[in-house]
Structure 1
């Protein structure tokens, strides 16, 4: 019988060399593809590989016992994985096409560097990248294949309608919807449906919005001038509007008649977007979370949103709404229903949290800049006196205040990812290599003196009587720009105009601790929860 003891030495020589070579050749492949889009498949391969290799070695007669073959196979795989890691780190640090771009050394090696910065900054990534800009300039390498760009000239080439970039890996980590799809042709087709929904029904939304503003003012009046939790007021308003205009049935938070399920879902969403704000830097983890959403808060949210779609599809003679139009223009198939359910979650998130954070910021800005309350009140009282009020119609000072709030503290601080095309992308004298993930820092762009003079000051007149304070109007991108801009911009502006104009007309607004309120600390405390996480505060509304 063959003596198999000498085989024990084999993994340390030929098989281990094979493992090292395997790691090298795997790296040559994976550096060209987005392997992080398939984490569960990769995990399955890693788990199965030793068993397959052990079976092959046993079949070739190399080992008498399967356990010995498995142990050797596991050792070979470990060597291959170690080789892959070493090749990857060396390539990223010294040979990557982005090696000439400045940035922290840790960022060149792994996106876990960014995740650590998010955690250390208490989920304020937009502030981290602002510091990186000050240190490294307009083009900063923040990941192995990622650049964050602050150059104003980059906005149109990256985000514009004629841009050749495509959406980044973060979007591919989640279910396909209008917002998350990376398929340009699919997005173009689906976006036409959404745009038509808003175009045909926007005029019908005005009365509904005013009804909810009535409810908000009634709730404010019931406080009797005592401090009111501002964040709850704004999120409840935005969720009531969203649910009614999207699904034809209000969640009734403002009236205090919401169901326990709706309240729980709202709490889950608030907690979930905190996780998204961190994990968007490692999208493969989001993919795993999405894949196991058959349990826990994500499952509850998915089930609830699907129920809203089903309820809406069964309504008789409903008022015009967004989902009704989407139902009408989506095939009644399993794929169509999945798309509707995914789009419903886009409506719930994008149609409520953003409006709520913008409203909260607006109230705080008005409370801490009381002179603008009087100026705005003079404008809106003339409008109401002449019976020309219409929340869909722009107003000079009102829109200036809203735009300035959106510029200073955009409701979405997330840096929208794009990927450069096969030929790369040239911006001025800077050439960005192909397949690079690029992001434009919205918050930093809005606070850049090359775009807006006195960028950190609240000056609503820059949008009307002082246009010289705006040097680059294309740098104002709170709703993004280009093909992927926000389809609900018109609706959001109607909500903001309605609430702010009517509240200022009826109430004097102030913070509950006017003499101690730390305005700078409050706004510096805004977190990057994908949408902006505005610090909790109380507000006093005194009836005029």
Structure 2
């Protein structure tokens, strides 16, 4: 089933990118971008990823004596700086300066603008949007598109051999299967948002849910600190096998999916049979992540944070979780349009969470309470309030 054109997120310039493209265009673009997100490329980029992870830890340690830190900001600084460096080979300085770059600062407004445009399209009122779109968010995508074009210009002119994401695209531009410059711009624009906001959101969910569940937090501390004798041992090859950490992260993705909305498709001509029932052509269909993951038909005690449902043995007939429909958890989507950056996301999330648990004792500030997620709204992404955390260094970070 093709993407529903009513809800398709058109790019600021109207050129198709990997998120909005028709099938042939998507296949061509994904083939080019897949090299940048391969396991081989990821291993080559580990030193860059580690540099940003360690700089985050240094900043948190340096500022820990100043009082509780808003980790929403610090995670956004880190994931954004990282994806932009991996894309362009430039350092943007959010993490270094502790301040938002104009691009990342406007992501919240971009999400709101996109959501409102979808609603105007659905009700066939696009011509009236200028009368109803709040001035604070109108045009934010176009402004950020210009920032991206300027950044891509600098990267193209640099003539570097560094194997960042654009290296693989530029290498194919002279062929008939390459990307046009306009396609390069819109794909870079989307990767800069999707590659930073979703990872930062999961990291925030990890901190909130572990710190509001002391037993979970203590189990994590035990697993991580027994697994590593020094910070230098915390590398990509050593973090993927931490059983309880993986269970906690899976449960965070279930209760607080970074993409909590429906990604709509449209039923083609002739209609389709879905779950035993006929659905006529032209019907908008999709799976809402949040609703699916919180349905008691899919998960035992769905509104509770229970990482044990992802532990070995949880599928046994005697387990409380034996009837959980684990395969319905698809936070990165699935099929030919699944998340291209899944491997990168897992690498940076595991490295950051393990470093945090190893280097700091953490405690939520009293002002946060236990209802942080309940105060949030969704505009494509979660609109997150501050998440204040007290951090007490346990080990000195290594350079």
- Common fold by TM > 0.5: yes
2:77–2:98 Cα contact (<8 Å) kept: no
How is 1:133-172 mapped onto 2 (pairs within 5 angstroms)? Answer: 165-169=1-5, 170-171=7-8
Gap change, CA 1:401 and 1:438, over 3 Å in 2: same
Per the TM alignment, residue 376 of structure 1 is displaced from its structure 2 partner at its CA by 1.6
Match of 2:58 in 1: 218
Q: Indicate conservation of the 8 Å contact 2:9/2:114, yes or no.
A: no
Of 463, 467, 472, the residue aligned with 2:310 is 463
Q: Which protein has the larger Cα radius of gyration, Structure 1 or Structure 2?
A: 1
Match of 1:233 in 2: 74
The alignment of Structure 1 onto Structure 2 pairs a total of residues equal to 370
Q: More displaced, 400-409 or 295-304?
A: 295-304
Equivalent positions of 1:273-284 (< 5 A) are: 273-283=111-121
Flag the 1:524–1:452 CA change in 2: closer, same or farther, 3 A: same
SS at match of 2:36: helix
**Residues in 1 aligned to 2:157 and 2:222: alpha-carbon distance in whole angstroms:** 46
Local SS of the residue matching 1:404: helix
Q: How far is 1:388 from its partner?
A: 5.9
Compute the displacement of 1:416 (Å).
Answer: 0.1
Q: Residues 357-436 of structure 1 correspond to what in structure 2 (within 5 A)?
A: 357-385=201-229, 389-391=234-236, 393-436=240-283
After superposition, residues 50-449 of structure 1 pair within 5 angstroms as: 165-169=1-5, 170-171=7-8, 173-174=10-11, 175=14, 176-181=16-21, 183-199=22-38, 200-225=40-65, 226-256=67-97, 263-283=101-121, 296-331=139-174, 336-385=180-229, 389-391=234-236, 393-449=240-296
Measured in 2, the distance between the counterparts of 1:285 and 1:178 equals 27
| Structure 2 stretches lacking a partner, 5+ long | 131-137, 316-320, 395-399
Q: Deviations over 1:406-430 (max 9, x none)?
A: 1101001221010111121102331
**Structure 2 CA distance for aligned equivalents of residues 221 and 168 of structure 1:** 47
Report deviation, 1:168. Answer: 0.9
Please give the TM-score of this superposition, normalised by the length of structure 1. 0.63
Alignment of 1:481-500 (within 5 A): 481-500=334-353
Displacement of 1:526: 2.4
RMSD: 2.6
Deviation at 1:542, TM superposition (A): 1.2
Q: Which moved more, 1:400-409 or 1:188-197?
A: 188-197
CA distance in 1, matches of 2:73, 2:326: 33
Contact 2:234 2:355 in 1 (8 A): no
The partner residue of 2:379 within 529, 538, 541 is 529
Deviates more, 1:524-533 or 1:313-322: 313-322
Q: Deviations over 1:156-214 (max 9, x none)?
A: xxxxxxxxx00111226433100111x11221222122222211411122221111111
Task: Give per-residue Cα distances to partners, 1:479-504, cap 9 Å, x unaligned.
Answer: 11111110001101111101110111
Name which of structure 1's ranges 273-282 and 186-195 shifts more when overlaid on structure 2: 273-282
In 2, Cα distance between equivalents of 1:286 and 1:180 = 19
Q: Which structure dedicates a bigger proportion of its chain to helix?
A: 1
- For the residue of structure 1 that corresponds to 2:332, the secondary structure is coil
Change in 2 beyond 3 A, CA 1:489/1:529: same
C-alpha separation in 1, matches of 2:253 and 2:306: 12
**1:454 to 1:308, Cα distance in 2 relative to 1, 3 A:** same
How far 1:222 sits from its partner (Å)?
Answer: 1.4
Structure 1 228/490 Cα, relative in aligned 2: closer, same or farther at 3 Å?
same
Structure 1 residues not aligned, in runs of 5+: 1-164
